[in-house]
Amino acid sequence: MAGDGTNGAIVRHFPSSNTELSRSSSVMAPSAMELALGTQSLFRSKATESTESALIERCRKGDAEAFGRFIDLYQARVIGFVRRMVPNQDDAADVAQETFLRAFQNFGKFDGRSSVRTWLFRIAHNLC
């Protein structure tokens, strides 16, 4: 938005502490919480797969709103993954933010040979 200092960039808040992370996670919708914690059912519904596929396709086309939803969906997972390799919370948040920036810049190259989660975690791993 004009005048907000972001020049139209996607801005997300990354939790700065474990307390803030758990507080922010507690306000997520249950399905998002399950996804963030990796406890979703092994048997995903066709509707869930269809919705995720549609979201990924919108991200591939450069839809910033869809990418914001993508960040909301995967942020906690990426931070948790990065924290295993980068013990400092602030550094881990920086790596997670850079992961999403690189994903946004390269979503058009995502070819679906792997899951989007695998692709995103590979970006994070390479940045660590």
Q: Please enumerate, as own/partner, the contacts of 35-40 that have beta carbons within 8 Å and a separation of 24 or more.
A: 35/73, 35/74, 35/77, 36/73, 36/74, 36/75, 36/76, 36/77, 37/76, 38/77
- DSSP reduced 3-state for 113: coil
Q: Between these two residues, 62 and 102, which has the higher pLDDT value?
A: 102
pLDDT given for residue 52 in this prediction: 81
Select from 6, 3, 120, 114 the least CA-distant residue to 64: 6
- DSSP reduced 3-state for 99: helix
List the chain domain ranges: 63-128
Write out pLDDT tens, residues 72-86. Answer: 999 999 999 999 999
Residue 32: CB atoms within 10 Å: 17
Tokens encoding 13: 């808040």
Query: What's the pTM value of the predicted model, to 2 decimals?
Result: 0.62
CATH assignment of 63-128? 1.10.1740.10
Confidence at 5, pLDDT banded by 50, 70, 90 = low
Query: What element of type H or E holds 87?
Result: none
Write out pLDDT tens, residues 21-70. Answer: 444 443 344 455 445 545 444 444 545 556 888 899 999 888 989 999 99
